[in-house]
Structure 1
Amino acid sequence: MKFIIKLSLVFLITFALYSCSKPKENISLIKEITQEEELITTYKKALDSLNKGDPYYASKKFLETEMLFPQSDWAPKSALMAAYSYYVQDYYAESIFHLERYLNTYPNDTRVSYGHFLLAMSHYQKIVGEKNDLKPLMEARDKFQFIIETYPNTDFAVDSKFKIDLINEIMASKEMYIARHYVKKKKWIAAINRFKTIIEDYETTIYVEESIHRLVEIYYYLGLLEESKKYASFLGYNYGSSQWYQASYKLFNKDYEKKIVKLDKKEKKGIIKKFKKLFE
């Protein structure tokens, strides 16, 4: 009888231990598999959301992916994609914040050149109107210049050069806006300094010709004829066919009239005939 009781107790204890140990083994196994799967699933959800036009949700999921495996290659990729998601929804401040964090946290990532370019573009997109603050313009220009110097053989460098040209046009337009304001207020020295800034710092922009002409005008009206003639000569030498040179020329030649050569009907028909023959 005692033997049967002992055997029953052994059976019950064994069963209890087995019952307790089996769930623990399964739970441990599930945790080990889920971490990897959760990362891939979260990243795919983020990517799907971005492709479906929900960048706000995508950015949150990308940041979640980064946190799951901070030491893996998924982390910098997810951080960059989160910043990009903010960028496409026009949240440029958030994009800049996460891009700067990405560049500081993952300086050796293989995608770092794109990170710098996206950062420059985020600053560039904050540029609005010619009366606004110059800070975003200057920050964007500095970032694009960094890309040109650091990654000269990339497509990013080519695009950065084009963006710098556009930025210079905008910055020159701001200087021109202020210079014209000073002219209206008859603050001649301040106006002269602004026009000279355009000539010296933004010589490739469309505002250079007008700036030189305005200097010709101001010096002429102030009675500084030698200085006025100096800028008129400079304008004629570099932009002889410009409308602004013609305007400057008129200051010193009051009887100047622009000659317009008109063709009579016979001559006009002859030119049209010659032109048509080229395509026959």
Structure 2
Amino acid sequence: MWVKNIFLILSVSILLISCSKKNIKEDVILEESLEMQVLEAYEEGMKALNSNDVLFAAKKFNEAEILFPQSEWAPKSALMAAYSYYKQDYYQDTIAEIERFLRIYPNHKNLSYAYYLLGISYYEQIVDEKKDLQSILKSKKIFQTLIENFPSTEYAIDAEFKIDLINDILASKEVYLGRYYVDRKKWIPAINRFRTVVDEYDETIYAEESLHRLVEIYYLLGLEEESKKYAFLLGYNYQSSQWYEKSYAIFDKMYELNKKENEIKKRKQNSLLKKFKSLFE
């Protein structure tokens, strides 16, 4: 009886081992088959992208990702789908794809590129900075994240350049509004706008004008010390600029007259020197 039991146990064990090997073999075959399907879908996506059929390309890249999410091709396909949309200026679709990529693959090696593509997609939507700041502020925030987390990448270098341009846009908006308030003699909101430029966008081309406007407004309000403070800043940083000359003229009413007289004297001196020189020729 015990011999039969042993034989039965051995038979079941052999059967289980055989089934296990069969399952492993089937899993390997299935994985290889999925890998081939993924590659085929990816290659079709690349061909469509090169032919500028971006919608079909994005569809094939999404298909490649869905077929085998565990494959190394899945995150690549997700990024290529996003790029396909970006290539045709479908920025909202690009943003949706990248945001999904960041949720699913938060530790992927190409995160720097993903953030860059996301930032650029918002940046390219900047149309009128005077009306809508949403795209501007979002792109700036994303580029700052990129620079902080991936400072040594080529994308971070371009992101810094883009932030400089964004700051110019934001500063121009503040100056535009400041001028608007000056024209209507609304001094306090005008001061707030120009101070924002001086405090937050001091490296932009609008800093000089903003300093001068503050000199001008404070002088009109009778706050000469405040006016002189900003005039000093303007002179210290931009002494050769036209805005410094205008600010200086506020405190020296004879400045323009003296300037003209000096130019006349200089011309006369040059004329005399030429006459004197001609005597020896």
TM-score greater than 0.5 by the shorter chain: yes
Q: Using the TM superposition, give the Cα deviation of residue 155 of structure 1 relative to its aligned residue in structure 2, in angstroms.
A: 0.9
Alignment of 1:201-220 (within 5 A): 201-220=200-219
Aligned to 2:254: 255
Q: Using the TM superposition, give the Cα deviation of residue 37 of structure 1 relative to its aligned residue in structure 2, in angstroms.
A: 3.4
Is the counterpart of residue 192 in structure 1 residue 191 in structure 2? yes
Q: Using the TM superposition, give the Cα deviation of residue 105 of structure 1 relative to its aligned residue in structure 2, in angstroms.
A: 0.3
- Range 96-105 or range 124-133, more displaced: 124-133
Q: Which amino acid aligns with 2:238?
A: Y
Distance of 1:244 and 1:162 partners within structure 2: 26
Aligned to 1:272: none
Query: Does the 8 A contact of 2:35 with 2:71 survive in 1?
Result: no
SS of the residue 2:255 aligns to: coil
Distance of 1:109 and 1:256 partners within structure 2: 63
Q: Using the TM superposition, give the Cα deviation of residue 35 of structure 1 relative to its aligned residue in structure 2, in angstroms.
A: 4.1
Is the counterpart of residue 57 in structure 1 residue 82 in structure 2? no
Aligned to 1:236: 235
Gap runs ≥5 in structure 1 = 1-27, 268-280
Q: Using the TM superposition, give the Cα deviation of residue 145 of structure 1 relative to its aligned residue in structure 2, in angstroms.
A: 1.1
Q: Using the TM superposition, give the Cα deviation of residue 132 of structure 1 relative to its aligned residue in structure 2, in angstroms.
A: 2.5
Aligned to 2:145: 146
TM-score by structure 1 length?
0.79
Q: Residues 127-155 of structure 1: CA distance to partner in whole angstroms, max 9, x if unpaired?
A: 11231322221111111111111111111
Aligned to 2:105: 106
Aligned to 2:23: none
Distance of 1:36 and 1:245 partners within structure 2: 68
TM-score by structure 2 length?
0.79
Is the counterpart of residue 71 in structure 1 residue 64 in structure 2? no
Q: Which amino acid aligns with 2:73?
A: W
Aligned to 1:131: 130
SS of the residue 2:108 aligns to: coil
SS of the residue 2:172 aligns to: helix
Q: Using the TM superposition, give the Cα deviation of residue 255 of structure 1 relative to its aligned residue in structure 2, in angstroms.
A: 2.3
Q: Residues 139-176 of structure 1: CA distance to partner in whole angstroms, max 9, x if unpaired?
A: 11111111111111111111111111111111111111
Aligned positions, number: 237
Q: Residues 200-258 of structure 1: CA distance to partner in whole angstroms, max 9, x if unpaired?
A: 00010000000010011111122222221221122112211010000111112222234
Distance of 1:135 and 1:66 partners within structure 2: 31
Distance of 2:107 and 2:231 partners within structure 1: 54
Alignment of 1:258-269 (within 5 A): 258=259, 260=263
Distance of 2:114 and 2:129 partners within structure 1: 28
SS of the residue 2:202 aligns to: coil
Aligned to 1:180: 179
Gap runs ≥5 in structure 2 = 1-25, 275-281
Distance of 1:34 and 1:225 partners within structure 2: 81
Aligned to 2:161: 162
